Amino acid sequence: MKSVRTVLLLGLAVILSGLMGSVAYAQDPDQGKATYEEQVWQCQRCHGPNGEGLYARPLAGSEKSAQEWLDQVRNGGRAMPAFSAEQVSDQQILDMQAYFSGLTKPANFTPKQPPTAEDPGQNLMLQKRCVACHEEEATTGQGRLISNFIDRGVVPTQEVVVKQLRTPFKNMPSFRPEQVSDDEAALIAEFLAAQVAAQTPPPALPQSGGETSSPMFPLVLLAVGTALALTGLALRRGLAR
Ligand code: HEC
Ligand code: HEC
């Protein structure tokens, strides 16, 4: 008799702790608004500055449950990339859900359609909504993405792009192969590499075959170098006096 009661109590305790695990969070809509507006997690880039919708549907007036929000953000959607727990915490997601489900849905919404481009890699960056965050680079090739590669001296290859898509560093969400395939990543890499090449100054040493003016180049360097060295010497003398 006594042992039955113990088992029952134990069972109750297990059920209770399970329940607490799923409802332990208090949701704070004000905090959710602040989190969204801080823009750290870039939801705004696709869902609009106020959750009114942009490249993706509105979040305002969302009828999805807290659990559905968690699933959506962690796993991504059909066309939405996934965010890790280091990027956006469960609590932040739940707070945002509380905030947006309390707003009214916009009366009408038409998603922003990126234009199409000739270059297949550029076109992919537009159609896969990379442009939501990498706008400048896909439209003109001039942007932080390109200059980051130039600064770091890294050439965008398929490997680099695939690595970033599957295991992104910093704040970029991840894209699954069904969203952006490895082959598509190769096309994107080609486009990015061409942009990097176009903006990287040509190497200082003349290439073979440039007979006319290039032999002058080392002479100019020599002259400048000598002038600098002489100035240096003069300065040192001046200081020593
Ligand atoms: C690159 C664009 C992009 C970014 C960034 C993005 N989303 Fe989405 N999101 C989408 C798209 C597209 C959908 C539409 C459904 C789908 O593809 O799954 C969506 C759908 C959703 C939905 C489901 C809405 C509904 O009612 O069906 C939620 C919730 C959501 N996103 C939350 C977020 C949050 C929170 C963030 C930031 C942490 C975020 N999204 C960042 C593109 C994005
Ligand atoms: C929600 C915003 C967002 C979206 C959508 C997004 N990115 Fe990014 N991406 C970032 C951030 C943030 C970084 C980090 C670098 C930085 O801060 O500039 C980054 C960096 C990168 C890098 C640089 C990696 C390196 O080695 O320097 C590549 C390549 C890249 N993104 C490709 C893509 C591609 C391709 C897509 C579309 C399939 C895409 N990104 C969509 C936010 C985004």
Region 65-87: mean pLDDT is: 95
For the cut 60, the answer to whether the pLDDT of residue 216 exceeds it is: no
Burial (Cβ within 10 Å: 0-12, 13-18, ≥19) of residue 204: exposed
With the most atoms of ligand 1 within 8 angstroms of its CB, the residue from 46, 129, 170 to mutate is 46
Which residues sit with their C-beta closer than 6 Å to ligand 1? 41-43, 45-47, 55-57, 59, 62, 64, 69, 72-73, 77-81, 83, 88, 93, 96, 129, 132, 173
Q: Which two tokens stand for residue 94?
A: 């739940």
Alpha-carbon separation of residue 173 from 9, 151, 169, 179, 196 (angstroms): 44, 23, 9, 12, 23
For the cut 50, the answer to whether the pLDDT of residue 241 exceeds it is: no
Residue 97 CA: which ligand is closest? 1
Alpha-carbon separation of residue 74 from 84, 94, 137 (angstroms): 6, 12, 27
First to last CA, the chain: 104
Average pLDDT, the chain: 83
Closest to 27 in 3D by CA, of 84, 104, 125, 98:
98
Alpha carbon nearest to ligand 1 atom 26, residue? 62
For the cut 60, the answer to whether the pLDDT of residue 101 exceeds it is: yes
pLDDT category at 142 given cuts 50, 70, 90 is confident
pLDDT category at 231 given cuts 50, 70, 90 is low
The answer to whether 137 and 125 are in contact (CB under 8 A) is yes
pLDDT of residue 138: 80
For the cut 50, the answer to whether the pLDDT of residue 63 exceeds it is: yes
